[in-house]
Amino acid sequence: MEVSFHGHAVVKVKTGTHTILFDPFITGNSLTDLDADTVEADVILLTHGHSDHVGDTIAIAKRTGALVVAPNELAVWLSKKGVENVHGMNIGGAYNFDFGRVKYTQAFHSSSIEEEDGTVVYMGMPSGILLTVEGKTIYHLGDTSLFGDLKLIGEMNDIDLALIPIGDNYTMGPEDGLIAAEWLKAKTVVPIHYNTFPVIEQDPKAFAEKVSPGKGVVLNVGESLTL
Ligand code: NI
Ligand code: MN
């Protein structure tokens, strides 16, 4: 499969049969190379309800008919917004879909959406997502601080690729990201969630070089790796 990075926390996984998009924040994403009007998706996986993660989900799902998998409160909200194909999940739960297995993990963060009238709606617990497809496991950490159970998640799962936020301010920064990388024991580590806004400016190459030799990989926007 091909895993490509599209700025912020947007990651595309192209398997033999499906195109899976994580957190498709395209409109307003200064870094991305994707176009919300043309991007293809069979499946959209959402970590939490913040606008820089839900992004263009509603428009993409309506146009493509993609299945949207999300924390339960967010899934309910999306269905009320007219997204027909939604699947709600919650932390610790796994489900075998036709495209692969999805397991939600905890993340230490927050999760809400601001409606057009300014009302802030609670979107359930923020999450990370373990995606197992074609025998490989990808861990998208979502937005989170460092927490001790990342060690447990690393012990319980044979992680081929960990997508670790390094932006700091809203999530863990590079120093904590290095500890996460060590605990997760992932074969490959790709930094995400940096340089989109001034407060999350980081040097991803410096981070990748400090991850155990050869494991840290910076994907420039639009670049992919093969798993
Ligand atoms: Ni967030
Ligand atoms: Mn975020």
- Token pair 């407060």 is found at 199
pLDDT in tens, the chain (227 residues): 999 999 999 999 999 999 999 999 999 999 999 999 999 999 999 999 999 999 999 999 999 999 999 999 999 999 999 999 999 999 999 999 999 999 999 999 999 999 999 999 999 999 999 999 999 999 999 999 999 999 999 999 999 999 999 999 999 999 999 999 999 999 999 999 999 999 999 999 999 999 987 899 999 999 999 99
pLDDT at 212: 84
pLDDT at 43: 99
How many A from CA of 52 to the centre of ligand 1? 7
8 A C-beta contact, residue 61 and residue 156: no
pLDDT at 67: 98
How many A from CA of 202 to the centre of ligand 1? 17
How many A from CA of 111 to the centre of ligand 1? 6
96: closest CA among 69, 123, 74, 71? Answer: 69
56: closest CA among 30, 81, 84, 37? Answer: 37
How many A from CA of 123 to the centre of ligand 1? 11
How many A from CA of 137 to the centre of ligand 2? 22
pLDDT at 214: 87
pLDDT at 17: 98
Residues 6+ apart with CB under 8 A from 93: 103, 104
Domain borders along the chain are 2-217
Q: What is the dotted CATH code of the domain comprising 2-217?
A: 3.60.15.10
How many A from CA of 10 to the centre of ligand 2? 10
C-alpha to C-alpha distance for 35 and 85, rounded to whole angstroms: 22
How many A from CA of 142 to the centre of ligand 1? 8
- Token pair 């009320």 is found at 80
How many A from CA of 49 to the centre of ligand 1? 7
